[in-house]
Amino acid sequence: MKVCVDTTILIDVLKDEFHGYQEKFYLAYSKKEQLIAPTVVYAELMPQFSGNTDLLNTFLHDHKISIKPLGIASATEAARRWMKYLKKKSKKRCHHCKKVLEFKEHFLSDFYIGGFAISQCDSILTRDRGIFKKYFPELKGYDSCLS
């Protein structure tokens, strides 16, 4: 099974946090699932290694994670859902005063990862359930991580 690994999970492994999600990662690893991530995950991980690509590549190799290009299909899926997000974001107003409401900002990279997971993987391993459940409802979470 092809499992898209989100940046949040890899940071959890690096920082030894959120053990339940680390266990899901190591379950996939032990089952020899095909662990893959789009290039955007590589970019998001780079600061954790202070820009040292040798250390980052060693980490990915040791954890059997392949980095794959995003591709047009993934970018198209991401863009469709990003536009839906932007439309909803711009329409949120207070019922009383009509001011635009502030809420959590999502980044295009989250949508790239979701688009990649939809177009190139069977499931996603992530800790960020909000964005994927809302904008990628057909996406299957690995070992029920989206439940």
Q: What is the pLDDT of residue 94?
A: 66
Listed ranges 46-50, 83-87, 125-129; the one with the highest mean pLDDT: 46-50
Query: Which range (14-23, 30-39, 94-103, 136-145) has the least confidence?
Result: 94-103
- Give the pLDDT confidence of 79-105 residue by residue, as tens digits: 787 778 777 765 566 667 766 655 555
- How much of the chain exceeds pLDDT 90, in percent? 63
CA distance 50 to 59: 13
Question: Closest Cα to residue 132, out of 25, 29, 6, 28?
Answer: 6
CA distance 8 to 111: 14
CB 11 within 8 A of CB 45: yes
- Cβ neighbours of residue 120 under 8 Å, at least 6 residues apart? 2, 4, 36, 68, 71, 73, 74
* Burial (CB count <10 Å: 0-12, 13-18, 19+), residue 147: exposed
Q: Which domains does the chain have, with CATH numbers?
A: 2-144 (3.40.50.1010)
